Amino acid sequence: MSILVNKDTKLVVQGITGREGQFHTEQMIAYGTPVVAGVTPGKGGIEVEIAGQNVPVFNTVREAVAETEANTSIIFVPARFAVDAIYEAADAGLKLIVCLTEYIPVLDMIEVRAYLDNKGARLIGPNCPGLLTPGEAKVGIIPGSIAMPGPVGVVSKSGTLTYEVIDALTRLGIGQSSCVGVGGDPINGTDFIDVLTMFEADPQTEHIVMIGEIGGNAEEKAAAFIKEHVTKPVTSFIAGRTAPPGRRMGHAGAIVEGKSGTAEGKIAALRAAGIPVAENPDDIAKIVAERMGLV
Amino acid sequence: MNLHEYQAKRLFAEHGVPIPKGQVSNTPKGVREIARELGGRVVVKAQVHTGGRGKAGGVKLANDPDAAEKLAENILGMNIKGLTVRKVLIDQQATGGIAQEIYLAVLIDRAARKPMIMASPAGGVDIEQVAEETPEKIFTVHVDPALGVRSYQTTYLAHAMGFPKELWRDFHTIVVGLYECFKENDASLTEVNPLVVTGEGKLMALDGKMSIDDNALFRHARLAEMRDVDEEPASEREARLAGINFIKLDGNIGCMVNGAGLAMTTMDVVKLFGGEPANFLDIGGGARADQVATAIKLILSDPNVKAVLINIFGGITRGDEVARGILAALEQVQTDVPMVVRLAGTNAQEGLEILQGADMITAVTLSDAAQKAVAAAKGAK
Ligand SMILES: Nc1ncnc2c1ncn2[C@@H]1O[C@H](COP(=O)(O)OP(=O)(O)OP(=O)(O)O)[C@@H](O)[C@H]1O
Ligand SMILES: [Mg+2]
């Protein structure tokens, strides 16, 4: 088992003929992800050969779904067009949409999220590295080479910091059930609590690693949720302890708003809920190994 | 992106929010002339991107053009929280004085995923302090974007502000205007502190702050032009134009990292091992060699930097591309600042091979890299 994506995923890539879309589709297919269709408005009807596979391209997601029974979408579309791409995927009936695009305006995301909730569709992201279920499917850009199948569920707001942690786990021989990048934007489609709920229900997952960062209160809410509803052990890390207040550290979400949203507040909330928080990301994997009784 | 008070208030006014008559000037003579045109009784206000201008002496009342000119001589050039005052706004004083001051703002409540209107009868003062000491004096309502601001919501707020019934209609218009201004301009904040009841019993926005969502600037050409480049450190401006996220800090270890989360973490780990980061720098995903070169040059242009820490975990970013960028930068700038490089992930090995000839300290883990950078910075002192 795993969460969100697996061997039964049938992926449609929105923006498949773009530079990013093409490059990462190649990586996803090479990893063994079932990519069934691509969408690029104006290029419908052609087939593109990617990583030795012919992928049919459609003008719209609706056609792609009708022809190929795609059940999941990944969006590699620039910010100006990404919002429309998300609406299109949801409107075509897809229930899982992964959007990697960075720099989507916040007010757009407020409306997108309300629309998706209404449709019963789940968005992962935006501004995230996507999903990886080691050995089964890669729907995003997390390097497949650093992961291996196993019992640890990883959920994170960050991109490269997540790779760092996955890599360290793998080096200690600890595999992952699924890795989920929820993204660092102020308003996103899926938050920690959603993913924690899925990991709690997933029989393969025995331990959860949650990587947060400054800004917002998703970590504080997750801490309270874990205390009440998660029976599996959770190990955590919070990035941005030394970030100066009031400055925007790249992720639009990572703004320290006055006193709320600080690393100290988050760490305190997590520790109060009995969740170990690593001081140094290099220690996360070691803590997990210890808690799993592997050392 | 932050706007100046005068820019924010003009945008508010476009949405029906009453503001005092006023104009901007950058010379005392100009201030005198404007004060004369406005009838003499004015307030001279420093225009810098920070709060607390009043407390710092950057907001002063004048009762005639002579006094306004004198005040301007003092305020122009003044340093407020590290920012030099280059312009002042000259506003007409509220007629009949001020009977009441309230706080009013529109912002985004991340947790509720909705815009939120926040108001407080304790206006004119630091709202963070109010929130901390007397949270019961802060009143909020959420706005459903599909519905907009409803009149029952402004009635609730008007009542909480202690406004008499005669002001409720005008208050409604102002709240709706501030919200529309927020929405139409993709703001992350529109704030009026204080919104006053004048001695004549009229509502008026005396102060204004507005921040725009940078991600939405592409669809607001007019707002993009309002950017005041003087308010942005030259190095941050250069970074922005090169598509790099860069924030200058006070330490002596320059950091170059891919990804915002990892960049913050790298700073944290530097600090954990007793160092002080000189900057936050995220080269973003899939950075090209030329962006890397710009990043390195930016870091080295800070004279405080005594060591550089390069931490790249390749995903879409490739180690060889980063290595080429580092070499390109080193061809353009001579430096004896020690550099610690840690490459992992995609094409890390290729990158390290490219860097073999260069004089670099290499590291395997982030902790290792941070410790080496801290040691190098100390050695160079
Ligand atoms: N046009 C005006 N007429 C009369 N009084 C004014 C006027 N403008 C400002 N004031 C007074 O000066 C005070 C401070 O002005 P303002 O709110 O613009 O600056 P500030 O809040 O101190 O600055 P910052 O926003 O940087 O903290 C107001 O609370 C108000 O009492
Ligand atoms: Mg004020």
Give the span between the Cα atoms of B167 and A207, in whole angstroms.
58
CB proximity A27 to B under 8 Å: no
Terminal alpha carbon distance of chain B: 37
Whether the Cβ atoms of residue A97 and residue A189 lie closer than 8 Å to each other: yes
Cα distances (angstroms) measured from residue A95 to each of A68, A217, B161: 15, 26, 45
pTM for this model (two decimals) = 0.92
What is the C-alpha separation between B359 and B335, in angstroms, rounded?
11
Beta pairing class for B307-314 and B253-257: parallel
- Which of the two residues, A242 and A74, has the higher pLDDT score? A74
Q: In three state form, how does the secondary structure of A63-89 look? A: HHHHHHCCCEEEECCCHHHHHHHHHHH
* pLDDT tens, residue by residue, A112-142: 999 999 999 999 999 999 999 999 999 999 9
Tokens at A186, concatenated: 């102020």
CB B15 within 8 A of CB B178: yes
Strands A149-156 and A207-213 turn out to be parallel
Domains in chain A, start-ordered, CATH in brackets?
11-124 (3.40.50.720), 142-291 (3.40.50.261)
Of B6, B103, B179, B321, which one is the catalytic site residue?
Answer: B103
Q: Is the pLDDT of residue A259 over 90?
A: no
What local confidence, expressed as pLDDT, does residue A221 receive?
94
* Ligand 2 geometric centre to CA of B45 (Å): 11
Contacts of B263 in chain A (CB under 8 A): 249-250
Averaged pLDDT for residues A276-295: 94
Pocket flag, ligand 1, residue B206 (CB < 6 Å) = yes
Q: Which fold has domain B233-380?
A: Rossmann fold (3.40.50)
Give ∠ CA A269-A273-A276 in degrees, rounded to 5: 85
Mean pLDDT for the stretch of residues A170-187:
95
pLDDT at A223: 97
Q: According to the model, what pLDDT value does residue B243 have?
A: 85
- Determine how many CB atoms are found less than 10 A away from the CB of residue A34: 19
Listed in sequence order, the residues at least 6 apart from B233 whose beta carbon sits closer than 8 Å to its beta carbon are B248
Domain B1-20+97-231, what fold? Answer: D-amino Acid Aminotransferase; Chain A, domain 1 (3.30.470)
Q: Which residues of B116-150 are buried (b: 16+ CB within 10 A; e: fewer)?
A: bbbbbbbbbeebeebbeeeeebbbbbebeeeeebe
Token digits for A59?
């003008």
Ligand 1 binding pocket includes B124 (Cβ within 6 Å): yes
- Pairing outcome for strands B187-198 and B98-109: antiparallel
| Mean of pLDDT over chain B | 93
B3 closest CA partner among B49, B59, B40, B38: B49
The CATH class given to the B21-93 domain equals alpha beta
Secondary structure string (H, E, C) spanning B266-294: HHHHHHHCCCCECEEEECCCCCCHHHHHH
Domain boundaries, chain B: 1-20+97-231, 21-93, 233-380
- Chain B residues with CB-CB distance to A158 below 8 A: 259-262, 265
Closest residue by CA, ligand 1 atom 19: B54
Chain mean pLDDT for chain A: 93
Contacts with B271 from chain A: Cβ below 8 Å: 241-242
Tell me: pLDDT of A101 over 80: yes
Q: Cα(B289) to centroid of ligand 2, in Å?
A: 45
- Kindly give the pairing relationship between strand A122-124 and strand B42-46: unpaired
Give residue B285's pLDDT band: very low, low, confident or very high (50, 70, 90). Answer: confident
Q: Which helix (H) or strand (E) holds B373?
A: helix B366-379
| Chain B contact for A244 (CB, 8 A cutoff) | yes
Q: Is B46 in the pocket of ligand 1 (CB under 6 A)?
A: no
Q: How far apart are CA A72 and CA A78, in angstroms?
A: 19
d(CA B110, CA B115): 8
Kindly report the backbone phi and psi dihedral angles of residue A265, in degrees, each rounded to the nearest multiple of 5, phi listed first: -60, -40
Residue positions counted in chain B: 381
pLDDT band at B381 (very low <50, low <70, confident <90, very high): very low
Distance B53 CA to ligand 2 centre (A): 8
Q: Are the CB atoms for B145 and A110 separated by under 8 Å?
A: yes
For chain A, the straight-line distance linking the first and the last C-alpha, in angstroms and rounded, comes to 26
pLDDT in tens, B311-357: 999 887 888 988 999 998 888 888 899 999 999 988 889 999 999 88
- What residue of A is the nearest CA neighbor of B284? A250
- This model of the complex carries an ipTM of 0.90
B152 belongs to the catalytic site:
no
Q: Which of A179, A208, A203, A171 is nearest to A292 (CA)?
A: A208
How confident is the model over B56-80, as a mean pLDDT? 96
**Burial of B337 by CB count in 10 Å (0-12 exposed, 13-18 middle, 19+ buried)?**
middle
Decide if A233 touches B, using CB distance below 8 A: no
How far is the C-alpha of A59 from the C-alpha of A85, rounded, in Å?
Answer: 12
For A294, list phi and psi in degrees, rounded to 5: -95, -10
Residues B340/B375, Cβ–Cβ less than 8 Å: no
Q: Token match 């969740």: residue?
A: A275
For A107, name the nearest residue in chain B, comparing CA atoms only: B186
> Would you call A251 a catalytic residue per the annotation?
yes
Q: Give the three-state DSSP class for B178.
A: helix
